[in-house]
Chain A
Amino acid sequence: KAGVTQTPRYLIKTRGQQVTLSCSPISGHRSVSWYQQTPGQGLQFLFEYFSETQRNKGNFPGRFSGRQFSNSRSEMNVSTLELGDSALYLCASATAGGVDTQYFGPGTRLTVL
């Protein structure tokens, strides 16, 4: 079974731009969660989607948004990029979320200049 895939793997943007990241979960998984990982803050929860609906949301500004498609693939969008948005963005899929084990993708390394 193929693992979680994320595209692109690396991205360089400038302040004020917007970016869209993509995540394809493991086949059969309906829950997709997004995390931001930085050296100073560790792994922080952004949001979780299940069956095309945002089920949970972390404490991030509205510039961070996401969506999930009927095939469970998910996208995350960050608008008006700031230098502090530079991070590794990880997506994790699970069968149904909740206490199900999450399986992480390789991440997208975003650098904002």
Chain B
Amino acid sequence: QVKLLQSGAALVKPGASVKMSCKASGYTFTDYWVSWVKQSHGKSLEWIGEIYPNSGATNFNEKFKGKATLTVDKSTSTAYMELSRLTSEDSAIYYCTDTTPFAYWGQGTLVTVSS
């Protein structure tokens, strides 16, 4: 069955960067887009961007251009998202998910930005 296993929670300082992972199993990783979604505490969901593992092609929500970098490692079926120049506004749970309309989700990675 399809599984998306995300890396653990991170506590990072303002101005720093964080890189999280999403390991896929149960399907052909290179055949489907992987998306990332942000959920701030108690709030709704925002689509950040997506990456096509086979080619590395990416699409982004304009709001997250320059903030998020998406990469993959095809050899381990793992997608990565790096967030840079972190502020308190970046504190949130980040989910990886599959191709829209997102039937499969990771368990989420909690990022806390605090000094």
Q: Are A and B subunits of one complex?
A: no
**Interface set of A (CB-CB < 8 Å, partner B):** none
**Interface set of B (CB-CB < 8 Å, partner A):** none
